[in-house]
Amino acid sequence: MEHPEAASATPVRFETHPSRYVHWKLEVAAPVARLVMDIEEERPLRPGYTLKTNSYDLGVDIELADAIARLRFEHPEVRVVVISSGKDRIFCSGANIYMLGSSTHAFKVNFCKFTNETRLALEDASQHSGLKAIAAVNGACAGGGYELALACDEILLVDDASSAVSLPEVPLLAVLPGTGGLTRVVDKRKVRRDLADVFSSLGEGVKGKRAVQWRLVDEAIPLSKFASRVPERAAALAAGAPARSGPGVVLAPLEGRYDDRGVQHRYVTLAIDAATRVGEITVRAPESDEPADAAGMRERGSELWALRAFRELDDVLLDLRFNRPEIGVLVLKTRGEAARVLAVDAALLAQQDDGFVSEVLHHMKRVLKRLDVTARSLLAIVDEGSCFAGSLLELAFAADRSYMLAQDDGPEIAFSALNGGALPMANGLSRLATRFLGEPRKAEPPVGESFDAESALAEGYVTFAPDDIDWEDEVRLAIEERATISPDALTGMEANLRFAGPETMETKIFGRLSAWQNWIFQRPNAVGEKGALTLYGKPERAKFNWSRT
* pLDDT at 4 > cutoff 70: no
Distance CA 16, CA 113 (A): 19
Residues 384, 405 contacting (CB under 8 angstroms): yes
Can you point out the beta strands (E) in 285-391?
329-335, 377-382
- Which of 141, 52, 34 minimizes the C-alpha distance to 96? 52
Distance CA 329, CA 219 (A): 48
Please give the helix or strand (H or E) that residue 273 lies within, else none: strand 268-273
* pLDDT at 502 > cutoff 90: yes
Ordered by start, the domain boundaries in the chain are 4-240, 257-490
**AA letter at 362:** H
What is the secondary structure of 376-415 as a DSSP string? Answer: SEEEEEE-TT---BGGGHHHHHHSSEEEE-BSTT---EE-
Distance CA 357, CA 70 (A): 15
**Predicted pLDDT at 64:** 98
Residues 356, 73 contacting (CB under 8 angstroms): yes
Name the packing angle between helices 305-323 and 105-129 (round to 10°). Answer: 150
10 pLDDT tier (thresholds 50, 70, 90): confident
Output 442 or 243, whichever has higher pLDDT.
Answer: 442
* pLDDT at 238 > cutoff 80: yes
**Predicted pLDDT at 250:** 97
**Predicted pLDDT at 245:** 76
Distance CA 336, CA 358 (A): 25
- The SS3 call for residue 332 is strand
Under DSSP, the state recorded for 512 is I
Under DSSP, the state recorded for 8 is G
- Which of 65, 58, 25 minimizes the C-alpha distance to 43? 58
Q: Which residues contact 275 (CB under 8 A, 6 or more apart)?
A: none
**AA letter at 440:** P
Instruction: Compute the mean pLDDT over every residue in the chain, rounded to the nearest whole number.
Output: 95
**Predicted pLDDT at 540:** 92
Superfamily of domain 257-490: 2-enoyl-CoA Hydratase; Chain A, domain 1 (3.90.226.10)
Distances (CA, A) of 41 to 37, 38, 212, 328: 12, 9, 32, 35
* pLDDT at 140 > cutoff 60: yes
By CB atoms closer than 10 A (0-12, 13-18, 19+), residue 266 is middle
- Cis ω for the linkage preceding 446 (within 30 of 0): no
Counting residues of the chain whose pLDDT is more than 90, the rounded percentage is 92
Q: Phi and psi at residue 201, in whole multiples of 5°?
A: -105, 0
**Predicted pLDDT at 242:** 84
Distance CA 365, CA 200 (A): 33
**Predicted pLDDT at 196:** 97
Please give the helix or strand (H or E) that residue 132 lies within, else none: strand 132-137
Helices (H), 241-293: none
Distance CA 380, CA 402 (A): 4
Q: Phi and psi at residue 35, in whole multiples of 5°?
A: -110, 110
518 pLDDT tier (thresholds 50, 70, 90): confident
- The SS3 call for residue 362 is helix
In this structure, are strands 32-37 and 80-85 parallel, antiparallel, or unpaired? parallel
Average pLDDT score over residue span 402-419: 97
In this structure, are strands 32-37 and 24-29 parallel, antiparallel, or unpaired? antiparallel
282-286, 366-370, 416-420, 543-547: the lowest-pLDDT one:
543-547
Distances (CA, A) of 321 to 114, 324, 522: 10, 6, 18
C-alpha of 515 from chain center = 16
- If one counts every other C-beta atom within 10 angstroms of the C-beta of residue 253, the result is 9
**Predicted pLDDT at 7:** 41
- Which of 126, 517, 62 minimizes the C-alpha distance to 314? 62
113-117, 398-402, 406-410, 513-517: the lowest-pLDDT one:
513-517
Average pLDDT score over residue span 342-367: 97
Q: Which residues contact 267 (CB under 8 A, 6 or more apart)?
A: 283, 284, 305, 308, 309, 312
* pLDDT at 8 > cutoff 50: no
Output 362 or 548, whichever has higher pLDDT.
Answer: 362
**Domain 4-240 shares a fold with domain 257-490:** yes
Select 4-240's CATH number: 3.30.2320.80, 3.40.50.300, 3.40.50.150, 3.90.226.10.
3.90.226.10
* β partners of residue 207: 164
* pLDDT at 3 > cutoff 90: no
C-alpha of 206 from chain center = 29
**Predicted pLDDT at 423:** 98
Counting residues of the chain whose pLDDT is more than 70, the rounded percentage is 98
* pLDDT at 5 > cutoff 60: no
**Predicted pLDDT at 436:** 97
Helices (H), 200-293: 208-213, 223-240
514 pLDDT tier (thresholds 50, 70, 90): confident
Average pLDDT score over residue span 371-383: 97
Q: Phi and psi at residue 7, in whole multiples of 5°?
A: -70, -25
pLDDT tens-place string over residues 179-194: 999 999 999 999 999 9
Distance CA 528, CA 4 (A): 15
Sign of CA dihedral 185, 108, 49, 258: positive
**Predicted pLDDT at 47:** 93
- The SS3 call for residue 444 is coil
Distance CA 390, CA 91 (A): 44
What's 304-364 look like in SS3? CHHHHHHHHHHHHHHHHHHHCCCCCEEEEEEECCHHHHHHHHHHHHHCCCCHHHHHHHHHH
Distance CA 289, CA 449 (A): 21
513 pLDDT tier (thresholds 50, 70, 90): confident
**Predicted pLDDT at 2:** 40
* pLDDT at 276 > cutoff 50: yes
Please give the helix or strand (H or E) that residue 118 lies within, else none: helix 105-129
- Which of 208, 298, 311, 315 minimizes the C-alpha distance to 248? 298
* pLDDT at 375 > cutoff 90: yes
Average pLDDT score over residue span 502-513: 91
Average pLDDT score over residue span 313-328: 97
